């Protein structure tokens, strides 16, 4: 027992030794919850003699599960580490053992996105659908919404219908949505395949319909532990309720201040109201933080205290005092990036390796100015869960269009001649290569000389040549930013991305346009297209040595669960962090929790940065409300924004706050609901536009439907 309980603080020891009944642990950031979970597992096995195969430990990522297995193996010395899984991984175990209950074989397929896209490709081809009917991205989202919200009983079709009957339902569907949805269910059943939504639904169905199977699993799982409980969703909660129904030993760990996945269905109320849902709940508060300095935690505590939906608590640092958190205000995004680079250099001069430094941000498009400066200053970096800005496909494509206008070179031609699709596929490109080799000309020249050849009949080759020739003749008299925007529009490239539903890529192109505009301002008369292309080549052909010692760049979501000695939290501006897409009071609290997560990743030093200037749409940039939320005296401003800007920011925040809706007061109105509008009268909700927070309503007395704001006064009838 000494080995397992040693070096645990009082709260951790209480959590580890509280083995029976319902136990809730509120574990603040950096409080050692993974340590508590793994030691509790070892305590059950080594000290109480519980068999590992009778313990279920649920984590939310496969990476966390693997780390937990290793820790438990080191503590117990036993290769049997029980069921240490994600919810979906555990459901795979259930299905592999009991899939016969739903007439599925043990060797069923678990689908990933590429598998789903392959199935969609079959459906589109069979029924003559195109991406104009629905993009694959939108189709995947539609399938998930129908499975999780609109038609939660869908799985009964897959289980109870014969394959022929399901195919008939698919063939009789007429709308694109129904064709795709029922075609997908048919393809799933045909291949004995299940996606992530199906795994939990099928497992729950088996438990609900087969008392013997349910009791077998309930008896087997004597102790259940669930990590990251603030991220649990409705289906996972139902599964948990079933599994703990016999022994009634359930141990949950979570932090309501780190709920950042409500957009995936997570509901923090399950954690906050756990003591109301289960009898005699014991709550353990783990507030001692072993990660961050008192100065960092003071800022994080001050920020998160502004949220209302939370359990009131403050993290207590167990680390030595450090430096005050620095907040930098830059004149421009580029100046902000240069300041970050200078601070990194200062850290390196003190002996800090690059790998101990991390730059966090809300979204990947923000990295553009950071990357440009890091490349100029020869600061090695790597991007986690993303591709470096100038290596992203859409950026390379856009720059290739500019190069094509100026140089008409083979590399650019090969990259964009058939992007978007112009029917210039492999066979025709091979023809051009052979002609170019024989004639000693470029691929583009080969195309212009052979346009009349039969091989290009039915292609858009001539339109591509017209496009390039027109832009080549006039680009010298135009601004580069104007040429870029025009060619992306006239070539159909941006339309292609919109059709694909690739908003992230469109955001990256907007950031590229902004960088071109900034380049034009800084270079003045020298800002010619050829000069810009030579300038940008320095960034697209970086020769930074790959030493493995690099600054880490990543989104805050990616950084969840990680920690870093030195953290730069950049682009802390309104519209960036919090994101401009935030539309409700609840979503704003989640953005604040996300900022809290970012701050509590830092161990030794935290730097917060933001910049003056204007956004791409011309609106002024203001410091983030999350900076203004921090109590006076906790931040060291270098320099502090001018007082007039702070007042303007406060006024902007106050105005924008008025437009945030309260989701708790707004009833969810489903498609098909009859409603009454105070002016337009009675109608039926035919669709919901979540992006615009609007209902599409077909009113009885109006021929065409109307998009009505969800803030409007609608009476359900």
pLDDT at 61: 77
Q: Which residues pair with 224 in a beta bridge?
A: 56, 250
pLDDT at 690: 65
**CA dist., res. 602 & res. 599, Å (int):** 6
Cβ–Cβ under 8 Å, residues 370 and 553: yes
pLDDT at 522: 63
The two three-digit tokens of residue 18, written as one number: 């509280």
**CA dist., res. 12 & res. 1, Å (int):** 14
pLDDT at 313: 87
Which residues are known to be catalytic?
33-34, 227-228, 258, 601
Distance of CA 627 to the CA centre of its chain: 23
pTM: 0.70
pLDDT at 411: 80
Cβ–Cβ under 8 Å, residues 597 and 556: yes
Distant-in-sequence, close-in-space partners of 291: CB < 8 Å, separation ≥ 6:
29, 30, 319, 563, 600, 603
Name the nearest CA neighbour of 609 among 390, 331, 371, 384: 331
pLDDT at 547: 47
Q: Which residues pair with 635 in a beta bridge?
A: 325
The two three-digit tokens of residue 51, written as one number: 């068999």
Name the nearest CA neighbour of 473 among 512, 411, 529, 396: 529
Task: Give the pLDDT means over successive 10-residue stretches in the chain (717 positions).
Answer: 78 95 94 91 92 91 79 82 84 90 84 78 90 87 84 91 92 94 92 87 95 96 95 91 95 91 81 92 94 96 92 90 96 94 97 96 88 93 75 88 89 91 92 88 92 92 95 89 94 91 86 82 71 66 56 91 94 92 87 96 97 80 94 93 90 86 68 88 84 83 88 83
Return the ∠ at Cα 74 (arms to 601 and 37), rounded to 5°.
Answer: 50
**CA dist., res. 432 & res. 440, Å (int):** 11
pLDDT at 543: 41
CA distances (Å), 211 to each of 104, 204, 238, 322, 713, in order? Answer: 19, 11, 16, 58, 47
CA distances (Å), 201 to each of 85, 105, 108, 392, 586, in order? Answer: 17, 17, 15, 37, 28
Name the nearest CA neighbour of 29 among 326, 321, 290: 290
pLDDT at 542: 43
pLDDT at 2: 46
């Amino acid at each position: 027992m000494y080995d397992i309980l040693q070096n645990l603080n009082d709260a951790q020891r209480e959590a580890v030794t509280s083995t029976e009944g319902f136990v809730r642990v509120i574990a603040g950031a950096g409080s050692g919850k993974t340590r508590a979970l793994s030691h509790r597992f070892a305590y059950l096995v080594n000290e109480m003699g519980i068999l590992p195969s009778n313990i279920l430990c649920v984590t939310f990522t496969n990476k966390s599960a693997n780390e937990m297995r290793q820790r438990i193996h080191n503590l117990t010395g036993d290769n049997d580490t029980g069921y240490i899984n994600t919810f979906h991984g555990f459901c795979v175990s259930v299905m592999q053992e009991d899939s016969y209950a739903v007439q599925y074989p043990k060797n069923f397929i678990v689908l990933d996105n590429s598998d789903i896209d392959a199935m969609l490709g079959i459906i589109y081809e069979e029924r003559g659908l195109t991406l104009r009917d629905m993009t694959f991205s939108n189709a995947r989202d539609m399938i998930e919404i129908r499975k999780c919200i609109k038609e939660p009983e869908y799985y009964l079709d897959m289980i109870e219908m014969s394959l022929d009957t399901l195919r008939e339902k698919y063939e009789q569907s007429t709308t694109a949505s129904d064709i795709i949805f029922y075609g997908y269910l048919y393809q799933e059943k045909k291949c004995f395949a299940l996606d992530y939504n199906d795994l939990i639904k099928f497992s729950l169905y088996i438990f609900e319909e087969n008392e013997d199977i349910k009791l077998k699993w309930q008896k087997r799982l004597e102790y259940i532990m669930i990590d990251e409980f603030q991220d649990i969703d409705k289906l996972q909660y139902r599964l948990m309720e079933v599994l703990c129904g016999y022994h009634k030993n359930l141990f949950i760990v979570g932090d309501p201040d780190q709920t950042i996945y409500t957009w995936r269905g997570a509901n923090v109320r399950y954690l906050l109201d756990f003591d109301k849902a289960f009898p005699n709940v014991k709550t353990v508060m783990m507030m001692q933080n072993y990660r961050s300095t008192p100065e960092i935690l003071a800022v994080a505590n001050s920020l998160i205290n502004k949220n209302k939906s939370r359990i009131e608590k403050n993290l207590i640092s167990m680390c030595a005092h450090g430096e005050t958190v620095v907040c930098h205000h830059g004149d421009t995004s580029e100046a902000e990036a240069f300041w970050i680079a200078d601070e990194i250099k200062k850290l390196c001069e003190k002996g800090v390796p690059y790998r101990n430094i991390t730059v966090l941000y809300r979204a990947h498009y923000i990295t553009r100015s950071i990357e440009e400066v890091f490349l100029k200053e020869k600061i090695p970096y790597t991007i986690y869960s993303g591709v470096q800005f100038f290596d992203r496909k859409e950026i390379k494509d856009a720059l290739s269009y500019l190069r094509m206008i100026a140089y008409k070179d083979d590399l650019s031609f090969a990259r964009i001649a058939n992007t978007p699709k112009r029917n210039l596929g492999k066979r025709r490109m091979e023809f051009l290569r052979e002609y170019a080799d024989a004639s000693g000309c470029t691929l583009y020249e080969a195309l212009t000389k052979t346009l009349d050849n039969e091989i290009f009949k039915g292609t858009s080759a001539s339109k591509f040549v017209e496009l390039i020739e027109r832009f080549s003749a006039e680009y010298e008299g135009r601004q580069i930013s104007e040429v870029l925007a025009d060619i992306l529009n006239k070539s159909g490239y941006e339309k292609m991305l919109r059709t694909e539903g690739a908003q992230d890529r469109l955001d990256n192109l907007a950031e590229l346009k902004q960088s071109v505009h900034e380049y034009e301002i800084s270079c003045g008369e020298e800002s010619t297209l050829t000069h810009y292309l030579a300038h940008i080549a320095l960034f697209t052909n970086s020769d930074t040595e790959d030493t493995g010692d690099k600054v880490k760049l990543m989104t805050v979501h990616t950084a969840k669960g990680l920690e870093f000695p030195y953290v730069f939290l950049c682009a802390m501006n309104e519209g960036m962090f919090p994101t401009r897409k935030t539309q409700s009071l609840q979503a704003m609290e989640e953005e604040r929790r996300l900022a809290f997560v970012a701050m509590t990743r830092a161990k030794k030093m935290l730097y917060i940065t933001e910049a003056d200037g204007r956004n791409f749409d011309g609106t002024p940039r203001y410091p983030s409300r999350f900076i203004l939320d921090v109590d006076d005296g906790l931040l060291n401003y270098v320099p502090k924004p001018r007082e007039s800007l702070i007042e303007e920011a406060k006024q902007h925040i106050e105005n924008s706050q008025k437009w945030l809706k309260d989701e708790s007061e707004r009833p969810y109105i489903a498609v098909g609901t009859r409603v009454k509008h105070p002016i337009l009268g009675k109608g039926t909700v035919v669709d919901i536009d979540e992006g615009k927070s609007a209902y599409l309503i077909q009113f009885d007395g109006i021929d065409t439907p109307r998009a009505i704001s969800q803030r409007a006064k609608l009476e359900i009838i």
